[in-house]
Amino acid sequence: MSLLSTSDRTSNHKPALALFAAFGAAWVFLLVTLGAFTTSIGAGMAFPDWPLSNGSLNPKGWLDNLAMFAEHSHRLSAGIMSTVTIILAVWLWRTESRRWLRRLAIFAVALVLAQALVGGLRVLFDHLQVEMVNTSLGRLFAMLHACLAQLFACTLIAIAVSCTRGWIKGGPSVGDGVRRAGVICCNLLFLQLAIAAVMRHSFAGLAIPTFPFSTPEGGLLPAIWSFPVTIHFAHRVMAAVLAGALLWFAVRIYLDRHASLGLRLGASALVTLLALQIFLGAKIIWTYRSAEMTTGHVLISAFTLAAAFWLTWVAHRDEIEAKFTA
C-alpha cells in the first residue's frame, strides 16, 4: 500500500502542475547552456573539489573570475534543477493517477541524481590518465555527463507535454510514417550528440580546421587520419545524414492530413533549428572555436533534439496512453 494517499489522484489537467513541469523543462536548457559555456572556455576544473567549490557553497572570488563564475553557476543551477525535479516527482506522485507518468518522474529523479554524481566524478577523477584513449578518466565521465544531459532533457519534456491540456484531451492520430521518422531522427540525434561529446572532450573541435571541405585544397576526405580527425569527420558525416533525416521527418509531418497546426509549426521550427545549427557549426571552424559560437552550437543542438523528441512524443500519444494505461 502506498504511503501517500491515492484518493485525490486524477489524470485531469492541472494548470499549476503543468506550468511547473514546463518550468522544469525550460530550466534544463539554462543548465545545458551553462555547462556548454563552462566546457567551451575550459573551466570544467575551475574548482578541484566536489560537491563544494573550494570547500565552500559560496567560494571567494567566484563572481570576479570568469572560469570560476561559469563552473560555480553551473553547479548552482544543477542544484536548483535537482530540487525542481524532486518537487515535480512528489507532486506527480501525490496527484497523478497515470502510473506510467509517476514512474517517469521517478526516472527523472534517478537521472538528475546520476547526472550530479557523474559531474562530480568528472572533477574528482580528472587527475587519472587513461593511456588507452589518451585522455583523463574525468573527461570520460564528462562525455557521459553530456549524454545524460540530453536524456534528462527529453525526460522532462515528456513529463511536461504529458501534463498539458492538449495531451490529456487527445486528438486525431498521425500516421505510422510520421512516428517511424520521428524515432529514427531521435536515435540519430542521440548518436550525433554522443559523437559530439567525445569530440569536444577529446579537443578535436578543430581537428579539421576548414569547412565545408576537409582540406585547404578542397578535398572531401582528410589528408591525414588520427583519432581526433576521425571523430571530427564522423561528426560532419552524421550532420549530413541528420540534415536529410530531419527534413524527411518535417515533410512527413507536413503531408500527414491528421497533423495538427502545432505539429506543423513544430516541424517548421525543426527545419529552422537545423539551418541555424549548420551555420553555427561552420562558424565554430571559421572563428577558430570561439566560446560564443561553440556554446550556441551546443544549445541549438539541444533545442533540435528537444523539438524532434517533442514531435515524436506527441505523435505517439495514443500509443503511449493505450500501452501504459491499460
Looking at the fold, whether 157 and 192 belong to one and the same domain comes out as no
Q: What is the pLDDT of residue 195?
A: 96
Lowest mean pLDDT among 172-176, 204-208, 262-266: 172-176
Residue 79 lies in a domain: yes
Cα separation values, 186 from 9, 47, 311, Å: 32, 35, 10
Cα separation values, 119 from 18, 51, 83, 92, 112, Å: 29, 9, 16, 27, 10
Looking at the fold, whether 141 and 200 belong to one and the same domain comes out as no
Looking at the fold, whether 116 and 82 belong to one and the same domain comes out as yes
Contact at 8 Å (CB) between 201 and 143? Answer: yes
The per-residue pLDDT of the chain, averaged, comes to 93
- Quick one: how many helices (H) and strands (E) in the chain? 10, 2
Residue 268 lies in a domain: yes
Looking at the fold, whether 100 and 195 belong to one and the same domain comes out as no
| Buried b or exposed e, range 91-118, using 16+ CB within 10 angstroms | bbbebbebeebbebbebbbebbeebbeb
What is the average pLDDT across 19-30? 96
What is the average pLDDT across 175-187? 96
What is the average pLDDT across 278-285? 95
Residue 177 lies in a domain: yes
| Banded pLDDT at 325 (limits 50, 70, 90) | low
Contact at 8 Å (CB) between 92 and 17? Answer: yes
Residue 27 lies in a domain: yes
Reduced to 3 states (helix: H, G, I; strand: E, B; else coil), residue 133 is coil
pLDDT of 2 > 50? The answer is: no
Give me the percent of the chain exceeding a pLDDT of 70.
Answer: 97
Q: Which of 169, 197, 220 marks a domain boundary? A: 169
Residue 79 cell numbers, joined: 542544484
Looking at the fold, whether 158 and 31 belong to one and the same domain comes out as yes
Looking at the fold, whether 326 and 204 belong to one and the same domain comes out as yes
| Banded pLDDT at 5 (limits 50, 70, 90) | low
Lowest mean pLDDT among 73-82, 130-139, 206-215, 279-288: 130-139
Domain with 144, as residue range(s), is 13-169
Residue 7 lies in a domain: no
DSSP sequence for 207-257: SS-SSSSSSTT--SS-SS--HHHHHHHHHHHHHHHHHHHHHHHHHHHHH-T
Q: What is the pLDDT of residue 135?
A: 85
Q: For residue 100, which of 148, 163, 185 has the smallest C-alpha distance?
A: 163
Residue 257 lies in a domain: yes
Q: Which of 169, 198, 223 marks a domain boundary? A: 169
Looking at the fold, whether 266 and 300 belong to one and the same domain comes out as yes
| Buried b or exposed e, range 150-173, using 16+ CB within 10 angstroms | bbbbbbbbbbbbbbeeebbeeeee
What is the average pLDDT across 181-196? 96
Looking at the fold, whether 220 and 294 belong to one and the same domain comes out as yes
Q: For residue 152, which of 308, 302, 42, 319 has the smallest C-alpha distance?
A: 302
- For 206: left if phi > 0, alpha if psi spans -120 to 50, otherwise beta; the answer is alpha
Looking at the fold, whether 287 and 264 belong to one and the same domain comes out as yes
pLDDT of 8 > 80? The answer is: no
Q: What is the pLDDT of residues 78-130, one digit of tens each?
A: 999 999 999 999 999 999 999 999 999 999 999 999 999 999 999 999 999 88
Cα separation, 115 vs 147, whole angstroms: 10
Cα separation, 158 vs 184, whole angstroms: 17
Q: Which of 119, 154, 169 marks a domain boundary? A: 169
Report how many domains make up the chain. 2
Residue 282 cell numbers, joined: 561552420
pLDDT of 4 > 50? The answer is: no
Looking at the fold, whether 90 and 179 belong to one and the same domain comes out as no
Q: What is the pLDDT of residues 28-50, one digit of tens each?
A: 999 999 999 999 999 999 999 99
Any idea what the CATH number is for the domain that residue 240 is in?
Answer: 1.20.120
Q: What is the pLDDT of residue 323?
A: 81
What is the average pLDDT across 278-298? 94
Q: For residue 159, which of 267, 46, 14, 279 has the smallest C-alpha distance?
A: 14
One-letter amino acid at 295 equals T
Looking at the fold, whether 220 and 78 belong to one and the same domain comes out as no
Residue 5 lies in a domain: no
Looking at the fold, whether 216 and 150 belong to one and the same domain comes out as no
